[in-house]
Chains A and B, each alone.
Chain A
Amino acid sequence: MRKSFKTLALLVVACVTFGLMSGCGGNGSNDGAVANKSINEGDEVQKSETAKDDRGGQTVPGVFKKYDPPVEISISTAIKQEDFRNGDTLENNPLTRWMLDNMGVKLSYKWVLADQNDAFNTKVRLALASGDELPDVMYINDLVVMDELIKSGKIESVDEAYEKYASERTKQTFDKNAVVWNQVTSDGKRWGLPTIADPVVGDVVMWVRQDWLDAVGMKAPTNVAELDAVLAAFKKKFPDKTPLAVAGKSLLTWWMGDTQFMFGTSQPMTWNEDSSGKLQYGSIQPGIKGALTKLNDFYNKGYMGKEFGTNDEMQASSLFTSGNAGIIFGAGWMGGWPLNETAKNVPGAVVKAYPLPSGADGTVGRHGSKLSYGSYVFRKGFDHFDAIFYYWDTTLGRALEDPNSPFAAGMAEGYDYVMKDGKPDWKDIPNGASAAIQQFALLDPGAAPGMIEGPAIYERVASGKKDNIYEQKLAENTEPLVIEGNMAAYSQPGIDRTDLFNGASTKTMTDKWSLLFKSETETFLKIIYGKASPGEFDTFVEKWKENGGEQITKEVNDWYQSTKRG
């Protein structure tokens, strides 16, 4: 009954990715020409802001005309941290001014919540229950809430507007990443605009204390046997330290201090297609058993520390940043935080990112980054879709490395860039660079994987290229360790096992999943701790199927079929 309990897991806003996460793409066709066109002068950026009318059909759908008098669009936003500068306010800041000047749209904030996650979901549900009017635009990242909104009839389908107003390049981006539509598709209609995520943003790599590696005179491991040897050498050389930092408290394949490399291509906790194109749950695949057995071996050899099962992600990463661990697995962004703190705590510490070693069965694999972290939905009766798609296209330009984008240098001068002698500068920003203002944007389409030909921007920057403004920005405003981490992720293309189930919970899932999941995490941890024999895994799989797993698999596949339009 005490709903206050329910707001524990925080979800901060969906993020907005400029600078760091902005434009990246793997392999695709299309806008290579755009990407390679260099613009060095910041004034070109300025010019494009004023010369909005002569932007070609590529950037502007053509049908959008600036509103005069201005119209108001209300949005909701969940803030992590406010950081307004130069007298700016929520209602009057570089983002709102740009929209008012260029689009005739006045942004208003109907709900400003201090976080996303349950607080936001609660707000939506309370509004639905009390009949309060919803904001015009909402960012939804909870699939159950999405489902409730769709069924409530209080949001608008985007199908018609998409056909009418989406620019060519917007459509291409979605066509290349069509699977993101699944999360907003119901009864053959699309009820929201999904953001598309940078494909490496959550990809896990291996972070190693290079100075430890040098001290034992070894090279970075590329398979599990080599890893075993390195950890053994660490253990011997630094007996009171923890060779491998693992967070076992919530999941073994979470976001920092995980062990997903060990599972190779059979990644637990994801739904993947089997050879017949059906979705299967990863945690019950036979490959899991060997990985757990090997982790048990690691535990017995004292590599992971007795207490790893009670460590959460923060505690696991603290082990590393305090200089007490030699290896931690985690995403490429960990190079920017928290691993960059290691050298400050331990003089002489050198942290390096490496590709994942192969797992227990010799294969290399990891959890794929999410394809999408959420979607924008629109209140029933909302009728400024032209503005939405115009802004979508304009901000998408950043991901496409469009030199004419008004946001090429950044979203807000004085926040994520400053102009110096007519050129953008990302280093010398008074009070430091801040991305906080992005939370107040109307929307953010995310990345555009597959849209830029050739190497991804991280790869280009890592190889020293600083030709276009996006490359310059990335080179200037990103910690080298982040670039290094992401490079390690890029060096292993095609190993991602992405969770393909992104619908709302199915009926049986709703009732049974929490128990099934609990038995899963318990069994896994028990096996690693040696409190259960590896044979227990088979019992778990049997029980899993019996206690609803089989039925859930069927329902998940029904859903999967239903998302395939026409």
Chain B
Amino acid sequence: MEPIRAKWNWKTNWPLHFMLLPSVILLFIYSYIPMFGIIIAFENYKSYSGFVHSEWVGLDQFRLLFNDSRVTEIIGNTLFISLGKMVLGWIVPLAFALLLNEVRHMAIKRIIQSFVYLPYFISWVILGAILTDMLSPSGIINQGLKALHIAPVFFLGDNDWFRITLIGSDVWKEFGFGTIIYLAALAGVNPALYEAAEIDGASRWRQTWAVTVPSILPVSVIIATLSLGNILNGGFDQVYNLINPLVSAKGEIIDTYVFDMGLRQGAFSFSTAVGLFKSVVSVILITITYRMAAKFANYRIF
């Protein structure tokens, strides 16, 4: 087959560039051109002065963020919350997909799958109210704990529990949707591979390790890598709807902080500066991951 490989050149390859062309152009227009707007991170942007005439303030916006006594605390909170969500949000859908894969009753499988996907569609404002109710010291969860003789927990008003509650409820909301991608990957596994393993006398456990896991590994690596882009996000909608003064010391994240700052001013510059900071951190993390995958596993993530 070597001759065919050798034939890859511009003559045969131009369609590859051509296929990318529409996406490249559209991204240029709607993503790259607006990126010039990042310049306002270094300005004190006012809508009436525009990008060109707003006052140039250099790194002042960044100083405003980092001179703040609470910024380390806030970044720490954000990292804790988003790492927790990333790790669990990666494992739980994966595990759930594997477990669901074992279900052989098609109808049951479908029903379970349709149900777990539902919370994804309910906004945090609504879920926030429901959770506040359920998790309150007199709520249904604590009544359950009481029946089991466990001391009640003030999930949303206790500094130690608040972040755990955030992570747990976020994973619960998102895992069903996250499972879909793995189910799609599992659907692509060649049954012949299982048959072969079966003939070799491999147990189900071994089959899972030898066939199922490798087949969904690439996609899960991609998802984990891309989720690094969210490392400093933490989930604004959720936190904003659940936070209260009792837990703001441990629960406040960068985005809620920026939001509060923005309420006092048309803080386009400040939020752009913070966004830029977050982007840079994400780029660094993703690049490292990409390089490591390429170097150690000779695998191009994307």
Contact = CB atoms under 8 A, between A and B. Distances in A.
- Chains A and B touch (C-beta atoms under 8 A apart): yes
Interface of A: 1-3, 5-6, 8-9, 121, 124-126, 128-129, 144-145, 148-149, 151-154, 248-250, 305-307, 309-312, 314-315, 505, 509-511, 513-515, 517-518, 521-522, 524-526, 529, 531, 547
A343 B190 CA distance: 64
B249 interface: yes
A307 B245 contact: no
A511 B275 contact: no
A511 B48 contact: no
A310 B248 contact: no
A529 B266 contact: no
A31 B278 CA distance: 61
Nearest to B68: A515
A531 B248 CA distance: 14
Contacts of B248: 518, 521-522
Contact of A510 (B47, B264, B278): B264
B126 to A, nearest CB: 12
B282 to A, nearest CB: 12
19 contacts: A1-B276, A1-B279, A2-B255, A2-B275, A129-B47, A148-B266, A307-B136, A307-B137, A307-B139, A307-B156, A309-B244, A505-B265, A509-B264, A514-B264, A515-B68, A515-B69, A518-B260, A524-B245, A525-B244
Contact of A522 (B245, B257, B263, B276): B245
B46 A148 contact: yes
A411 B237 CA distance: 39
B283 to A, nearest CB: 14
Interface string B206-226: 000000000000000000000
Contacts of A9: 263
Q: Is the interface of B mostly helix, strand, loop or mixed?
A: helix
A515 B70 contact: yes
Please report whether the interface of chain A is mostly helix, strand, loop or mixed according to DSSP: helix
A127 B138 CA distance: 49
Given A1-B278, A144-B266, A306-B138, 10 more contacts: A8-B240, A148-B46, A148-B48, A151-B48, A249-B245, A305-B138, A307-B156, A510-B264, A525-B244, A525-B245
Contacts of B252: 518
Which 4 pairs of residues, A with B, have the shortest CB-CB distance?
Answer: A1-B275, A152-B48, A514-B260, A128-B47
B271 A310 contact: no
Interface string B261-276: 1111111100110111
A393 to B, nearest CB: 32
B50 interface: yes
Interface in B12-50: 46-48, 50
A276 to B, nearest CB: 27
Contacts of B70: 515
Contacts of A8: 237, 240, 259
A125 B266 contact: yes
Contacts of B272: 1
B260 A128 contact: no
A434 B85 CA distance: 46
A344 B47 CA distance: 50
Contacts of B246: 248, 309-310, 522, 525-526, 529, 531
B157 A309 contact: yes
B202 interface: no
A121 B264 CA distance: 13
A128 B263 contact: no
A173 B236 CA distance: 45
Contacts of A151: 46, 48
Contacts of B156: 307, 310
A5 B237 contact: yes
Contacts of A2: 236, 255, 275
Which of A144, A514, A531 has the most B CB atoms < 10 Å from its CB? A514
Contacts of A145: 266
Nearest to A513: B264
A144 B265 CA distance: 6
Nearest to A151: B48
Contacts of B245: 248-249, 309, 518, 521-522, 524-526
Contacts of A249: 244-245
A505 B264 contact: yes
